[in-house]
Amino acid sequence: MPHDDRSSLIPLLDRARSGEASARDELFARCRNYVALIAQTRVESWMHAKVDASDLVQQTLLEAFRGIEDFRGETDAEWLAWLRKILAHNTNDFIRRYRTDKRAIGRERPLATTNPDQSRAAGIEPADPGKTPSQILADHERDIQIADAIARLADDHREVILLRNMQRLPFDEIARRMDRTRPAVQMLWMRAIRKLEELLNQPRS
């Protein structure tokens, strides 16, 4: 994609809002990995089960695409917060459907009960993703960059980073989920971080 990784989304956003189709496509292409990563993090941590988040991402981007005229913000922060809000809304729907699907619950429950870190998950509606005050110095371009880099990792590297860094699970739990030994996931994690750092610092070809 012919763009500078560190640039603001705003010029693109302005062009997209004025109806330029190619700008819309590029804007959503740039945000896709970001939305996907957040969707994966949230869906996984609320359900403690592997669920393919791609429907959620598709739905979110589609709604954002249709509603882009309604977006009134003027900064990257507002744009990404808007995307997260749509995503949160869809996630809630998704979780509600998931919960009412008795069959799915019956099948998935045993996974949840053994999770040691479910204090903030069980039965609570996910918080609005816009409410994340602790991000001391948010750097939105960097966030998008990281999401892109994670998307380019190998599957097991992506999974271990998702579980360890995004969902902050302890290594024991990650080992259980990935069906490997604890030392093995620790080594995998080290390699994944190294690889990620490499991808971040190497200019995109």
Interface residue list for other proteins (CB under 8 A)? 37-38, 41-42, 45, 73-75, 77-78, 80-81, 84-85, 119-120, 127-139, 141-143, 146-147, 161, 164-168, 181-184, 186-187, 190, 193-194, 196-197, 200-201
Minimum separation from the CB atom of position 117 to other proteins (A): 11
Minimum separation from the CB atom of position 43 to other proteins (A): 10
Nearer to other proteins (CB atom), residue 27 or residue 161: 161
Minimum separation from the CB atom of position 106 to other proteins (A): 26
Q: CB under 8 Å to 75, separation ≥6 — which residues?
A: 10
Spatial separation of the C-alpha atoms in residues 186 and 177, rounded to whole Å: 13
Closest CA to 47 of 177, 198, 193, 180: 177
Minimum separation from the CB atom of position 133 to other proteins (A): 5
Nearer to other proteins (CB atom), residue 154 or residue 190: 190
Sign of CA dihedral 152, 154, 155, 157: negative
Q: State in Å, rounded, how far the first CA of the chain is from the last one.
A: 9
Task: Quote the tokens at residue 12.
Answer: 């693109």
